[in-house]
Copies of this chain bind each other. A is one copy, B any other.
């Protein structure tokens, strides 16, 4: 698999299927692991980092589960390639900085991504479409077990897995779900919901993880604490929280339908109309309009358009994706024109 093969490939987590996929875009489990007796990436010297990279890629090569994967050494990627992987949620923005001895391992279905020498030696994630944290956990747990047979992870009986940042110590696990909450935003109930989430020791982030703002009504909810609870308990906890948010979003949708159906229909159809006809459009406006169109599909107001097409448009209309599709550097203005072109061609019903 080459990086360019991904351009026209549709990730597993974009399928738009799975439980509650009207509200939950995707579920994700990530584990942080470090090799014993070797400094964490930010403190390791070049030789140590190189050793870590080699040890992990070698170990991964021996794991059956990881047979259909490709390893991308970040030193071989240009800035568009790196941005492309970030846009696909296959690596973090931070991982793209200072590329020494960093890599990312990705499987064919883009279910799994393993970042090597990010904040920890290993940051691996498994993503699933819809509300499916346990399935994601089952997959990543097996991969973790296999890697643990090949590598010596830093682990203390009293503390659990050791990590560069103490907030990850313990299970090293973070479970998160990407939620689409347009009705809670439109009915202005979202601030109350976000306040409750934060009181319960969970965090909310935007589309691209830490430090990014919520756009187009998308919110990534994840656990803050990974110490003192088993993985199962943590997932159960976050599952319960997400189930409650789903209920509230569903109720808000019902309320809007019964009280403001015409206003909602207008907003959704206008959004669809603009997407189908614009000739210049920014990323920001695209996300906001697609958010309304997704809601329109969920509510049955927009027919003949499947969730997968909408999910894919969210991804492929991003700057690096447009440049990969066009196979050349594009200025911001050129991208706005190409983006509009791409959206029109995909939405031609």
Contact = CB atoms under 8 A, between A and B. Distances in A.
A274 interface: yes
Contacts of A269: 277-279
Contacts of A280: 262-263, 266
A273 interface: yes
A340 interface: yes
Contacts of A337: 262
Contacts of A265: 279
A270 interface: yes
Interface in A282-335: none
Number of copies: 2
A161 interface: no
Residue with the highest number of chain B CB atoms closer than 10 Å, among A272, A277, A278:
A277
A89 interface: no
A270 B274 CA distance: 5
A273 B279 CA distance: 11
A146 B272 CA distance: 58
**Which residue, of A272, A274, A279, A281, has the highest number of chain B Cβ atoms within 10 A?**
A279
Nearest to A271: B277
Contacts of A276: 273, 277
Given A262-B337, A337-B262, A272 B277 contact: yes
Interface string A54-72: 0000000000000000000
A142 to B, nearest CB: 48
Interface string A230-273: 00000000000000000000000000000000110110011011
B266 A340 contact: yes
A254 B276 CA distance: 26
B262 A270 contact: no
Contacts of A273: 273-274, 276-278
Contacts of A266: 278-281, 340
B278 A270 contact: yes
A316 to B, nearest CB: 20
Contacts of A272: 277
A262 B280 CA distance: 7
Contact of A277 (B262, B263, B270, B278): B270
A201 to B, nearest CB: 42
Nearest to A275: B273
21 contacts: A262-B279, A262-B280, A262-B337, A263-B280, A265-B279, A266-B278, A266-B279, A266-B280, A269-B277, A269-B279, A270-B274, A270-B277, A270-B278, A270-B279, A272-B277, A273-B273, A273-B274, A273-B277, A273-B278, A274-B277, A276-B277
Given A273-B274, A273-B276, 16 more contacts: A262-B280, A263-B280, A265-B279, A266-B280, A266-B281, A266-B340, A269-B277, A269-B278, A269-B279, A270-B277, A270-B278, A272-B277, A273-B273, A273-B277, A274-B274, A276-B277
